[in-house]
A and B are shown apart, each in its own frame.
Chain A
């Protein structure tokens, strides 16, 4: 529910023609305000009260929250749509690992190390977990503080969630961590809210709110907001998978479609508390990731859980408005030698994946030249002039592939049979071969070609 300029005009001081804001009229200013093209402070004639009212109207429906500080800080919230095809999802959820002060030191250190070091390279990106969820399970202040300190020392700046049952424990943890590290304090509940307001107001750290159900959560967030605590993260308490998914959907709908401010915050979820089975934990985490979770807390970091989950996160948070592309270069598949053939296609990620996979499946060593077509598929890149005999020849020469293989056979996509002549003209000495129209044809095509080489 984006605010309209016409609603803002009604709040303007109507000093016709003053132009002090830099716009010709209040109407023009209001219109710019609504679309984010102007700052409310540009009008100096607004009362404090009206300015606050306008700021509230202009605030994003889901408040952006930053946890941690520095290069690894985690930014969540500030989402604009229910479904990624409506625009895109902007802020990837944090994936966290629970570390408890009742675990033995070795186990704690193993988890901290995994948070730091477990990573996967995927299409040139590094995929990792990004939050340490440090839990006081013992209730002992000394143990909790010691664990927090350990995570700070060993964690290499990883953002933290401090999790404890009492406000005093949380404050002890905060002191051990350092307020400047901006950990998320988990959690304010119905039981401790008054104490929390007394002790946490003015500290300027994000806090999580936990209650049993959305109604109770929203009562708490309203109260906290009045007390000046606004950097909030929500936990509606549901610990069964489809109820948890429902709550995520309701929170986002309430924020985006109802404009219901008390639920206009990102969320934290706990697959680690919903099952004891790692495979099921992954399934729950995947469902919550697809449906809006802001932080996903896992019981441990296992490669076979973290890898697929971080790939899913990358996929779901890919901007559907931008075609997904892979790096333009020569990919060496099945250890090609100086006699292996060359294939060329576009850098649309799906094209690359299917072609590379099929080549790999044939076990035939080959060079796959991936040309930059700005992520467009074969036919689209041809029709927009990004993939022609001329551009292909230029790129092939640039890659230096001629020095890598003595083979002078180059395979082009079957859909582009029409550029064969053009490419032959541009690349004397090369035999241009029209490949299959679909990647699936490579499995029989390539072994046959290799047989002739």
Chain B
């Protein structure tokens, strides 16, 4: 019996989503192979996974010192913080509008939008803007951001089954992309994608199936993400072909073990990120610069 390489090819292809415009445009997705199988000639993977670094719009109060440390001097200034991340080599900036949450500072939408604009103007990277998942407040905030940066093609999220309509419409009107978010459930994710794609084309949608930390449910999220990619690429379901974002850094650092000591925290974030890259994440959100450097080195 002679060995023949068990190469597979699939008929489906991930949607290619462009974020940002002009020089700062970056592409996610577009592949017709499963994660990292580009190394064995099964098909095309035109856009290797991208790594985003997370920036908050207010100084974090509960971050572990190990992950706040590298940003401590800029943590109260989102503009300087974003520039720091750009300097570290991030592919994108992931700006979390934590202060807008009614349980935090309840920052008004216009004020938040003005801050997003200041950050955007200070960097030359594409921008992801995330709210905290308050279904009443989020639409107003993201609509204001969409308007303030009209035409700049940001990636806005998360949109859920409760609030997708106003946010997707604002994104459509002002030329942005959105992230659809469903709670670790492949059917709910698809249902939401179908609804959102009545407003925006698949090339303007990214999926966030939620990404728990190592030890805290990673196996569920890993398998849902892996299946999502299979459904899109192997089984050609157009409603599951959008690129996937793994927003896992915050999930990692809120737990006990990463807070214990820096090296364990780094290890925890690193293993979590690698696992989601293998599941097929097209973009991973990270925090610790050392982890970012390491993972970047591994995938490029």
Contact = CB atoms under 8 A, between A and B. Distances in A.
Interface stretch (B92-100, B146-154, B220-228): B220-228
A166 interface: no
Nearest to B38: A242
Contact of B3 (A83, A263, A361): A263
A280 B274 contact: no
A261 interface: yes
A419 to B, nearest CB: 22
B76 interface: no
Contacts of B37: 246, 249
Given A263-B3, A353-B216, A283 B278 contact: no
Contacts of A78: none
Contacts of B267: 279, 282, 304-305, 307-308
B264 A214 contact: no
Contacts of A245: 36, 39, 278
A175 B216 CA distance: 45
A325 B230 CA distance: 28
Contact of A303 (B230, B264, B295): B264
A312 B40 contact: no
Interface string A215-258: 10010001000000000000000000111011001100110011
A69 interface: no
Interface in B264-290: 264, 266-268, 270-271, 274-275, 278, 290
B8 interface: yes
B219 to A, nearest CB: 4
Interface string B107-118: 000000000000
A280 B291 CA distance: 10
Given A250-B5, A307-B264, A286 B274 contact: yes
Contacts of B5: 214, 250
A353 B217 contact: yes
A361 B250 CA distance: 14
A283 B270 CA distance: 7
B72 interface: no
Contacts of A304: 261, 263-264, 266-267
A255 B297 CA distance: 32
A350 B36 contact: no
The range of chain B's interface size is 35 or more
B258 to A, nearest CB: 9
A291 B277 CA distance: 12
Given A260-B1, A350-B212, A350-B220, A282 B271 contact: yes
Nearest to A252: B6
Interface string A353-369: 11001001100000000
Contacts of A290: 222, 274-275, 278
A357 to B, nearest CB: 6
Interface in B226-278: 226-227, 230, 254-257, 261, 263-264, 266-268, 270-271, 274-275, 278
B3 A260 contact: yes
B6 A122 contact: no
Contacts, number: 130
Contact of A253 (B2, B6, B218, B222): B6
Q: Decide if the interface of chain A is mainly helix, strand, loop or mixed.
A: helix
Given A243-B39, A315-B214, A83 B226 contact: yes
Contacts of A260: 1, 3, 6
Nearest to A311: B215
Contacts of A257: 6
Given A312-B271, A320-B223, A349-B217, A357 B266 contact: no
Nearest to A246: B40
Contacts of A214: 3, 5
B252 to A, nearest CB: 10
A304 B255 CA distance: 15
Given A253-B8, A320-B223, A283 B217 contact: no
A357 B216 CA distance: 10
B295 A283 contact: yes
Nearest to A353: B216
Nearest to A282: B267
A245 B264 CA distance: 25
A434 interface: no
A444 interface: yes
Given A250-B5, A257-B6, A261-B1, A308 B271 contact: yes
Contact of A312 (B217, B223, B275): B275
A84 B278 contact: no
B215 A122 contact: yes
A260 B294 CA distance: 36
21 contacts: A83-B230, A85-B227, A122-B215, A215-B2, A218-B3, A246-B36, A249-B37, A250-B5, A253-B6, A260-B1, A261-B1, A262-B1, A279-B267, A279-B290, A280-B294, A282-B267, A286-B271, A286-B275, A287-B278, A290-B274, A311-B215
- Sort A-B residue pairs by CB-CB distance and give the 8 closest, nearest first: A253-B6, A315-B219, A304-B263, A85-B223, A242-B39, A311-B215, A350-B217, A215-B3
Given A349-B217, A357-B256, 5 more contacts: A83-B226, A214-B5, A253-B6, A350-B217, A357-B254
